[in-house]
Amino acid sequence: MTNAKRFKIACIGAGNVGASAAQYCVEEELGDVVLTDVVEGLPQGKALDLTEAGPIRGYNSRVTGTNDYKDIEGSDLAIVTAGLPRKPGMSRLDLLEKNGLIISGICENIKRYAPDSIVIIVTNPLDVMVYLAYKKLGFPAERVIGMAGCLDSARMRAFVALELGVSMKNVDTMVLGSHGDDMVPLPHYTTVSGIPITTLLPQDRIDAIVERTRKGGGEIVALLKTGSAFYAPAASAVRMAQAILRDEKQLLPCAAYLMGHYGLNDIYMGVPCILGRAGVERVMELEISEADRSSLHTSAGEVRAGIDGLKERGIL
């Protein structure tokens, strides 16, 4: 183990994202994982399979599967991916209600069994679900964080690296706003080893990368036909978990609770955050253009509409 303390990580939801997150956690030896789901046998089967991969992949972290929330007792961190995907004929509001009820139930259990944990929400619609979790958990805002910007900026990094034929590791990007078509990718804060891409690529190529980033989730859904992306979302959630548990002070875009930042109040939105052992240790305020600020506020309007939807249905 590279980390001195043996952490306990609850991966709640053992579907595509949850199981991949469990895999990345143990491969990184970030801690012992408890995989939890409502479907009997699913988390147990995946946990056993991951355990049996241990001797080959060379990890000693434990993975166990359960349908009983009691087993998450004392977890240091929870990654919540439980939820339903939107099915044909289901409205956004119906999905909001169904996942809202699931997240509310899970928060009850986290509060009961892991009251000191840091919680990373992945379930969609992300910015609304993480706001709901914050309200239901009653934890300090720095301990309730949404995963989206990390994924959106990873997608943009990948597209820039592919376009320029450079290492993915050399590319840094920043994406603000809500997770969806209204997100705000920032080309001016996108660099290759410190060189702004605005000096490396023509405007039309940058515009195309920004557009592909905005539609990144949809591009994968269209290819897969059933289900949505899971490798990159899981990797992003585990990147955040690593920054927190190892107190790395990493600057990553995350959905954080805003109290006046960027002119927004009492809302969760994607902003640059310093992640360390306390969770979101600082929200960074960047200088952004008037156009980007206005897109951020448009994006906030969508999130507020979702929050109102939950209130109308008595979930919040």
**Binding residue for ligand A3D, selected from 9, 11, 12, 72, defined by CB under 6 A:** 12
Among 155, 179, 214, 246, binds ligand A3D (CB under 6 A): 179
User: Which residue type occupies 16?
Assistant: N
100 binds ligand A3D per the rule CB under 6 A = no
Closest CA to 185 of 163, 160, 156, 208: 156
Strand partners, 283: 273
- Determine how many CB atoms are found less than 10 A away from the CB of residue 240: 27
Q: Which is nearer to ligand A3D, 77 or 151 (CB)?
A: 151
As measured in angstroms, the least distance from the Cβ of 207 to ligand A3D is 23
By the 8 A CB rule, do 22 and 46 touch? yes
The answer to whether 13 contacts ligand A3D (rule: CB under 6 A) is yes
**CA–CA gap between residue 292 and residue 189 (Å, rounded):** 12
**By CB under 6 A, is residue 148 in contact with ligand A3D?**
yes
Is residue 158 close enough to count as binding ligand A3D by CB under 6 A? no
Per DSSP bridges, beta strands 171-172 and 144-146 are: unpaired
229 binds ligand A3D (CB under 6 A): yes
**Side-chain-facing half-sphere of 27: CA atoms under 13 Å:** 14
Q: Which of 31, 35, 71, 83 binds ligand A3D (CB under 6 A)?
A: 83
Minimum gap (Å) between residue 220 Cβ and ligand A3D: 9
Least distance (Å) from ligand A3D to the CB of residue 268?
12
Min CB(147)–ligand A3D separation in Å: 6
Return the residue matching tokens 């199981």. Answer: 19
Beta strand segments in 137-217, E? 144-146, 171-172, 175-176, 184-185, 191-192, 195-196
Is the separation of the CB atoms in 286 and 260 below 8 Å?
no
52-61 burial, b at 16+ Cβ within 10 Å, e below that, comes to eeeeeeebeb
Amino acid at 261: H
Tell which one of 130, 151, 244, 258 touches ligand A3D (CB under 6 A).
151
Select the span of 98-106, 191-199, 243-251, 276-284 touching ligand A3D (CB under 6 A).
98-106
CB of 289: closest distance to ligand A3D in angstroms?
A: 25
**Residue 59, CB-side half-sphere exposure with 13 Å CA sphere:** 22
Site map (CB under 6 A) of ligand A3D, residues 275-314, x = contact: ----------------------------------------
Nearer to ligand A3D, 198 or 231 (CB): 231
Contacts with ligand A3D by CB under 6 A lie at 12-18, 36-39, 42, 81-83, 85, 102, 105-106, 122-124, 126, 147-148, 151, 179, 227-230, 233
